[in-house]
Amino acid sequence: MILILGDNNDAHSALVADILKSKKEDFCFLDTRLYPENILIKWNPDENNEGYLKIKNKKINFKDIKSVYWRNFNGIKFERINNDAYLTDMIYRERKSALFSLFYSLKTNWCNSVEAFEIHQKKAYALHLMKENNIRIPRTLVTNDKNSIKEFFEQNNGEIIVKPVLGGAYTEKLTKRALTKSRLETLYKVPAKFQEYIDGEDVRVYVYKNGIYALKINSKTVDFREDRNAKYTKIKLPKKVIKDCYKVMEILKLKYSGIDIRLNKNGEYVFIEANPAPMFIFIDRITKYPLIDSLIDMLINP
């Protein structure tokens, strides 16, 4: 049994499901929005982690779960109980604690694990771990102090970018004009991540247990995701960069990843982040890299 954490409305989850079906592999979607009404848990932590999930009445014993593909965590149902804020919060916390305790304890082939995703959700911490292990990252500031932004702006000769601390929005290059008083005044409510602007090209590296696949992205926008005319070119990485990619995988507890790097004008590779659930359909199609096949192989042959 292979669990797909996500749902059939996501293109990547649906594609993985279709391929598993074609290979006659038993699989099931685990959409956490169905929990608790349509997902039941029975678990004995003191008895060799024995237990099962019932997903829409389909019983799945823990011992039969070969792999988990973590594509999307769709959250846990939050409902107001009789307008009682304390009871509402308590029930939500209990649901989350039970589910995540199981995620941490389920000994199977996670692609990727809950630990990897929780590190990714703390992106500044992930950068800290990389820096601690001598991986070149951008100079970075996480702050809600407007005065520190002005200092950081000057320290980097007015060449900085801004992005959310957690993610979920495009990267923006900041100009002095963009540092308006009203924008700075609201910063204390919503901290942001500021980084030196790395002038150069984007590099995306897909790392699997059986291979590493790199491409250079030539884009006219600060964030290549906004450029529909970006050019993608397959490249070979220097041995030092390949070694650093595998080091990043180890320290961020990843089994596979899409690692984002900037190649600056001096030929230096600067690591930005490592995504634990990278999109791959488009890149697989245009580069002919075996990205989909590599993931499927990891799930079927752990």
Query: How many structural domains is the chain composed of?
Result: 3
Chain position carrying tokens 């970006």: 230
> Is the pTM value of this prediction over 0.85?
yes
Distance between CA atoms of 118 and 130, rounded to whole angstroms? 15
Instruction: Note whether 72 and 237 are within 8 A (CB).
Output: no
Strand-pair category, 67-70 with 58-61: unpaired
Q: What band does 182 get if pLDDT is binned at 50, 70 and 90? A: confident
Tell me how far apart the alpha carbons of residues 110 and 81 are, in angstroms, rounded to a whole number. 34
C-alpha 226/C-alpha 259 separation (Å) is: 18
pLDDT confidence of residue 267: 94
pLDDT at 118 over 90: yes
The domain that holds 255 is classified in CATH as 3.30.470.20
Does pLDDT of 96 surpass 80?
yes
The sign one gets for the Cα dihedral 234, 208, 139, 195 is: positive
Locus of tokens 């004009």: 177
Strand-pair partners of 259: 205, 274
Using 50, 70 and 90 to split pLDDT, how confident is the model at 70?
very high
2-57 pLDDT tens trace: 999 999 999 999 999 999 999 999 999 999 999 999 999 999 888 777 899 999 98
In terms of domains, do 20 and 62 share one?
yes
In the 8-state DSSP scheme, what is residue 266?
T
Q: In angstroms, what CA-CA distances link 137 with 150, 164, 261? A: 21, 17, 9
Tokens 């070979």 locate to 236
Are 126 and 252 contacting, i.e. CB atoms less than 8 angstroms apart? yes
Task: Return the residue matching tokens 């992205």.
Answer: 217
Q: List the single range of 57-66, 125-134, 162-171 with lowest mean pLDDT.
A: 162-171
Reading the block at residue 70, the tokens are 């973590």
Q: Are residues 33 and 10 located together in one domain of the fold?
A: yes
> Do 248 and 204 belong to one domain?
yes
Q: What is the DSSP letter of 64?
A: G
Distance of CA 240 to the CA centre of its chain: 24
Model confidence at 177: pLDDT above 90: no
The one-letter amino acid code at 221 reads T
Region of poorest pLDDT, from 57-71, 147-161, 238-252: 147-161
Give the pLDDT score at 116: 97
pLDDT bin (cut points 50, 70, 90) of residue 268 is: very high
Q: What is the pLDDT of residue 251?
A: 97
Residue 134 within a domain: no
Instruction: Tell me the mean pLDDT in the region 210-238.
Output: 87
The mean pLDDT value for 254-278 works out to 96
Calculate mean pLDDT across residues 170-181.
76
Cis peptide bond prior to 109, omega within 30° of 0: no
**Does residue 8 share a domain with residue 102?**
yes
Same domain, 169 and 214: no
pLDDT on residue 131: 97
Q: How many other C-beta atoms can be found within 10 angstroms of the C-beta atom of residue 141?
A: 21
Looking at the structure, tell me whether residues 211 and 157 fall in a common domain: no
Same domain, 149 and 241: no
- Together in a domain, 221 and 159: no
If asked whether residues 259 and 204 sit together in one domain, one would say: yes
Within a domain: 129: no
Range of 210's domain? 119-123+200-300
